[in-house]
Amino acid sequence: MSHHVALITGGAKGIGRAIALDLAIKGWNIAFCYRTSGDHAQATASAITERGGQAWSIQCDVSDPTAARRMVSQVEETWGRIDVLINSAGPYHRINLFEETVEGWREMFDGNLHPIFYLAQAVVPGMKARQHGRIINFSMANADQMVAQPDVTAHYIAKAGVLILTRTLAKLLAPHGITVNAISPGFIDSGSAPPSELAAVVKRIPAGYIGTVDDVVAAVRYLVSDDARYVNGANIQISGAWGV
């Protein structure tokens, strides 16, 4: 099979969708998962097909390790392999630490950190067999600063954990021709935040403007290419120098 295969979590909307559409232009087979965004998933699948790729939208809660492994098996059985895993799903909420619930705390780790572990375990055997693979994980622009975050505590800790997990996977998998890197966006106009909120933070961004999904897509395009074959364990911040 000549087509490359990508599996994208959270690919129905926002950044994940933009990545999927960019790969579609190059004729990739793209499987992407969603939890509740069925209408968006259908529209994204159609857009992928229109751009020349093959699309497969899968409803899957990747916080469930069994469901995550099953999804990987389904894609590999159908398309023969997974060349690239992009972990772009990641729930987020803002609440003071002492008002956070146990359920809300767990949701941040179950949605942002744990699936990367589950999915890596599932896709790596095939990548090792082919001696090639790319895994891209999403953190956040200031997660490496380890500063206090009273209103996004669990989310921030989970995103810092993503960086540690990324580097660990990179070290373990480099001998097998597999790269594992992180992308850490700052404020990106991906459609998830109200324009008024984005406008309010512009003055805090040294570059002076909000990033776009195209800025993130460009980084992904590089990391999945052969040009990035020696880039492993990196954390690319896409933030206009915010959070550095």
How many CB atoms sit inside 10 A of residue 6's CB?
27
Residue closest to 128 by CA, chosen among 165, 162, 172, 163? 172
243: in domain = no
Q: Give 112's Cβ-side CA count (13 Å radius).
A: 28
Over residues 12-67, the pLDDT tens digits come to 999 999 999 999 999 999 999 999 888 999 999 999 999 999 999 999 999 999 99
Residue 211 pLDDT level (bands cut at 50, 70, 90): very high
Handedness of CA 122, 128, 133, 138 (dihedral sign): positive
pLDDT averaged over the chain?
96
Catalytic residue at 156? yes
The answer for residues whose C-beta is within 8 angstroms of residue 40's C-beta and 6 or more apart is 12, 13, 17, 34
217: in domain = yes
Over residues 106-122, the pLDDT tens digits come to 999 999 999 999 999 99
Residue closest to 124 by CA, chosen among 72, 160, 165? 72
Alpha helices in the chain (DSSP H): 14-25, 38-50, 65-79, 102-112, 114-130, 153-173, 195-201, 213-223
CATH of the domain at 14: 3.40.50.720
For residues 196-201, give the mean pLDDT.
87
Residue type, position 133, single letter: G
SS3 132: coil
203: in domain = yes
**pLDDT: which is higher, 244 or 48:** 48
Q: Over pLDDT 90: what percentage of the chain?
A: 91
SS3 86: strand
Over residues 123-140, the pLDDT tens digits come to 999 999 999 999 999 999
Q: Which domain holds residue 232?
A: 5-238
Residue 217 pLDDT level (bands cut at 50, 70, 90): very high
Residue 2 pLDDT level (bands cut at 50, 70, 90): low
Number of domains in the chain: 1
CA distance 176 to 232: 12
Q: Would you say residue 1 has pLDDT above 60?
A: no
Over residues 128-173, the pLDDT tens digits come to 999 999 999 999 999 999 999 999 999 999 999 999 999 999 999 9
Query: What pLDDT is recorded for position 215?
Result: 98
34, 118, 156, 230: which one is catalytic? 156
244: in domain = no
Residue closest to 24 by CA, chosen among 58, 56, 57, 52? 52
User: Cα 100 vs. chain centroid, distance in angstroms?
Assistant: 25
Q: Would you say residue 176 has pLDDT above 80?
A: yes
